[in-house]
Amino acid sequence: MKVLVGVKRVIDYNVNIRVKSDGSGVETENVRMSANPFDEIALEEAVRLKEAGICSELLAVTVGDEASQEVLRSALAMGADRAIRIDVTESPQPLNVAALLAAVAREEAVDLVLLGKQAIDDDANQAGQMTAALLGWPQGTFASELTIAEGRARVAREIDGGQQTVELDLPAVVTADLRLNEPRFVKLPAMMKAKKRPIEERTPEALGVDMRPRVERVKVSEPVPREAGVKVADVDELLDKLRNEAGVI
Amino acid sequence: MTNTILVVAETAGETLAASTLSTLTAARELDGPIDVLVAGARPAATAENLASMAGVRRVLVAEAPHLAGGLAEDLSGLVAGHVEHYSHVLAPATTFGKNLLPRVAALVDIQMVSDVTVIQDAETFVHPIYAGNANETLRVLEPHKLLTIRPTAFAKEVVGGGKAQLERIDVGETQAQSREVELQLDQSDRPQLESSGIVVSGGRAFGSLEKFRLLEELAADLNAAVGASRAAVDAGYAPNDCQVGQTGKVVAPELYIAVGISGAIQHLAGMTGSKVIVAINKDPDAPIFGVADYGLVGDLFEILPEFHEKIRQLRSEPKPELAEG
């Protein structure tokens, strides 16, 4: 079976982000970028499906500018067979990304689309569900376990209050939770080899997807900082403050 | 132009989930008649409950056995069919709403907004991005506004006095592409993490599952919910759905006590909305002290038992009168 994994290039999760002073967005110049952590988990899962002989072709796809190639290089080094970059310059909105992914999934006749449950920059948690809707496929979101057998996907989902297991007919869309797996490190020789591999390019026009933004950013602002607190000397002082100052105990 | 609002209710078994109450509060800010859609295998009691709430005009009741699992494949078509009649469609930003609403949005070709914390006007909304390290204000140009609402950003008030009509709606057939095969709910008599007034949360510093019990015992005496950092969950000290943070739950209790949690940005994203934050940590430079109202530097294994013991004593005394203002 053929698997499509979506990977997004985002500001590295360890970076303390800075809001631009004009409120137009977040500073990305000279900031460390890397693959969205949830997407790395989706990729690792797909590689494991390949190693188990279930996935016969693994296709990594990103939507972004030329710099986004680097996340595809890592995907190739990790075990992807092919890589496709859909060339866009503006930061695309989830519905646009979903339309692009759905178009590629159709064109490539894939059986499973694996994505991260959310990107750590926009925190939207939308693209997977939207892709499933546009394809008319079932969805297994926030997956912490995935088993493929007899043309079906069994997905354990992390939900509020516990876990729900669903069974999906293939083709399907699955989005990865942090608990799905522990992504492997990419070794240097694999990375070197991946550097020479071709990356296919597509455009939204060729895929027939209208990229007009549907939601307009008014501004990005810093959250109101919490007022600085105090350090207390001991438990007695802490309890006194909680009881007589804050009134919460 | 007046707004008309549809709220998709989240239920917990045969009762209303607290997240629905927050979503209704957000809906009332939009100033217009509110219809609520409730779906399930036996939604009757929840529907009656919703009909008695202020501001609710109609309750749309979708009853069918295949709606029991709350699967997005079945619900999304149902909700999508109603979008055209409303200026706004709201669902809670819980795993239920996050799973459902993007699917609805794509079916009706609309870009939605996730995790709304502020409704500025009928088309302008604020939501956190980058793990809560920035707020983005968006103007939605779509003909219908689809929003998930962050429950902790809106009060969970139950406003009575409503007398809404109940209306059964056509649910159609099941899509039969997906099925719920198992549901495992964590059994706990503790208050729910997202709605508890007090949360005590532990991190990796506990070192073992046995020692994490110290925290659970404290929680029991405080009638608090137990939270955990990702490190504590990964180490197996606490179940997954206790995780507080960007990838877990967002909480905003009256009192949040972080014990042995350093305060990585991903964790802070889930709790900086709390009213009062207490940090107990042996590293005086831990980032958690940067957001804590009260910080106590020291070994948790010395501090926690003393704190617990003194809490027990306090609990047996009457609470002092608080000064006004």
CATH number at residue A49: 3.40.50.620
Q: Which residues contact A242 (CB under 8 A, 6 or more apart)?
A: A248, A249, B255, B276, B278, B294
Give the lowest-confidence range in A21-35, A142-156, B78-92, B234-248. B234-248
Reported confidence tier of residue B185, pLDDT bands at 50, 70, 90: confident
Chain B residues in contact with A223 (beta carbon < 8 A):
128, 132-135, 272
Reported confidence tier of residue B321, pLDDT bands at 50, 70, 90: low
Q: State whether the Cα torsion A194-A198-A203-A207 is positive or negative.
A: negative
Consecutive H or E run containing A49: helix A37-51
* Contact indicator for B34, B7 with CB cutoff of 8 Å: yes
Q: Give the pLDDT score at B318.
A: 65
Q: Give the pLDDT score at A210.
A: 94
Per the prediction, chain B carries an average pLDDT of 93
Reported confidence tier of residue B159, pLDDT bands at 50, 70, 90: confident
Query: Across the interface, do A249 and B114 touch by the CB < 8 Å criterion?
Result: no
**Rounded distance between C-alpha atoms, residue A141 and residue A157, angstroms:** 6
Q: What one-letter code names the amino acid at B118?
A: V
* Contact indicator for A84, A55 with CB cutoff of 8 Å: no
Query: Across the interface, do B296 and A169 touch by the CB < 8 Å criterion?
Result: no
What interhelical angle do B95-107 and B72-80 show, nearest 10? 50
Interface of B with A in 209-238 (CB under 8 A): 222, 230
Q: Average the pLDDT over A71-83 and give the result.
A: 97
Q: Give the pLDDT score at B325.
A: 40
> Could you tell me where the beta strands, DSSP code E, fall in A72-182?
82-87, 112-116, 139-149, 152-159, 162-169, 172-176
The CATH class of the B198-316 domain is alpha beta
Chain B residues in contact with A178 (beta carbon < 8 A):
230, 247
- Tell me: pLDDT of B199 over 90: yes
Q: Which residues contact A165 (CB under 8 A, 6 or more apart)?
A: A145, A154, A155, A156, A157, B180, B181, B182, B183, B184
Q: Average the pLDDT over B315-325 and give the result.
A: 61
Query: Across the interface, do A166 and B181 touch by the CB < 8 Å criterion?
Result: yes
Query: Across the interface, do A166 and B179 touch by the CB < 8 Å criterion?
Result: yes
Chain A residues in contact with B113 (beta carbon < 8 A):
215
Q: Is A246 on the interface with B (CB under 8 A)?
A: yes
Counting residues of chain B whose pLDDT is more than 90, the rounded percentage is: 84
**Testing the interface with A: which of B11, B78, B98, B188 to mutate, by most A Cβ within 10 A?**
B98
Does residue B313 sit in helix, strand or coil? helix
Query: Across the interface, do A133 and B76 touch by the CB < 8 Å criterion?
Result: yes
Q: pLDDT higher for B53 or B247?
A: B53
* Contact indicator for B3, B35 with CB cutoff of 8 Å: no
- Tell me: pLDDT of B322 over 70: no
Nearest C-alpha of chain B: how many angstroms from A173?
A: 11
Question: Backbone phi, then psi, for B64, in 5-degree steps?
Answer: -165, 145
**Rounded distance between C-alpha atoms, residue B51 and residue A235, angstroms:** 48
Per the prediction, chain A carries an average pLDDT of 96
Q: Give the pLDDT score at A69.
A: 96
**Rounded distance between C-alpha atoms, residue B238 and residue B230, angstroms:** 9
Interface of A with B in 62-121 (CB under 8 A): 93-95, 98, 118, 120-121
Q: Is A44 on the interface with B (CB under 8 A)?
A: no
Burial class, A20, CB count within 10 angstroms (exposed 0-12 / middle 13-18 / buried 19+): middle
Nearest C-alpha of chain B: how many angstroms from A214?
A: 6
**Rounded distance between C-alpha atoms, residue A116 and residue A111, angstroms:** 17
Nearest CA among B35, B47, B39 for reference residue B6: B35
Interface of B with A in 28-67 (CB under 8 A): none
Reported confidence tier of residue B176, pLDDT bands at 50, 70, 90: confident
Counting residues of chain B whose pLDDT is more than 70, the rounded percentage is: 97
Query: Across the interface, do B310 and A235 touch by the CB < 8 Å criterion?
Result: yes
Size of interface A-B (CB pairs under 8 A): 250
**Testing the interface with B: which of A158, A210, A248 to mutate, by most B Cβ within 10 A?**
A248
- In this predicted complex, what is the ipTM? 0.96
Q: Average the pLDDT over A50-61 and give the result.
A: 98
Q: Average the pLDDT over A186-206 and give the result.
A: 95
Q: What is the dihedral of CA B278, B279, B284, B286, to 10 degrees?
A: -120
Question: If you measure CA to CA, which chain A residue comes closest to B233?
Answer: A179
Question: Cα–Cα distances in Å, from A122 out to A32, A34, B180, B277, B325?
Answer: 17, 15, 30, 26, 38
Nearest C-alpha of chain A: how many angstroms from B161?
A: 30
Q: Average the pLDDT over A153-170 and give the result.
A: 95
Q: Is A159 on the interface with B (CB under 8 A)?
A: yes
Query: Across the interface, do B99 and A141 touch by the CB < 8 Å criterion?
Result: yes
Q: Give the pLDDT score at B158.
A: 84
Query: Across the interface, do A16 and B133 touch by the CB < 8 Å criterion?
Result: yes
Domain housing A187 = 2-246
DSSP type of residue B240: G
Q: Which residues contact A125 (CB under 8 A, 6 or more apart)?
A: A117, A118, B98, B102, B114
Q: Where are the domains of chain B?
A: 5-168, 198-316
- Using CB atoms, which residue from B134, B294, B319 is nearest to A230? B294
**How many domains does chain A contain in total?**
1
- Tell me: pLDDT of A106 over 60: yes
- Tell me: pLDDT of A226 over 90: no
Q: Is B72 on the interface with A (CB under 8 A)?
A: yes
User: pLDDT digit string (tens) for B68-127?
Assistant: 999 999 999 999 999 999 999 999 999 999 999 999 999 999 999 999 999 999 999 999
Question: If you measure CA to CA, which chain B residue comes closest to A144?
Answer: B240
Angle, CA of A163, A169 and B146, to the nearest 5°: 65
User: pLDDT digit string (tens) for B250-276?
Assistant: 999 999 999 999 999 999 999 999 999
Q: Give the pLDDT score at B324.
A: 47
- Tell me: pLDDT of B46 over 70: yes
Question: If you measure CA to CA, which chain B residue comes closest to A241?
Answer: B294
Q: Average the pLDDT over A37-41 and give the result.
A: 98
The CATH class of the B5-168 domain is alpha beta
Residues paired with B35 in a beta bridge: B6, B58
Q: Average the pLDDT over A28-34 and give the result.
A: 95
The number of residues making up chain A comes to: 249
β-strands B5-8, B88-92 pairing? parallel
Q: How many CB atoms lie within 10 A of CB B225?
A: 24
User: pLDDT digit string (tens) for B276-312?
Assistant: 999 999 999 999 999 999 999 999 999 999 999 999 9
- Tell me: pLDDT of B190 over 70: yes
> Whole-model pTM?
0.93
- Tell me: pLDDT of B238 over 60: yes
Chain A residues in contact with B278 (beta carbon < 8 A):
238, 242
- Tell me: pLDDT of B323 over 70: no
Matching CATH topology for B5-168 and B198-316?
A: yes
* Contact indicator for B84, B141 with CB cutoff of 8 Å: no
Question: If you measure CA to CA, which chain A residue comes closest to B80?
Answer: A133
Chain B residues in contact with A160 (beta carbon < 8 A):
94-96, 194, 241, 249
Residue with tokens 């083709």: A171
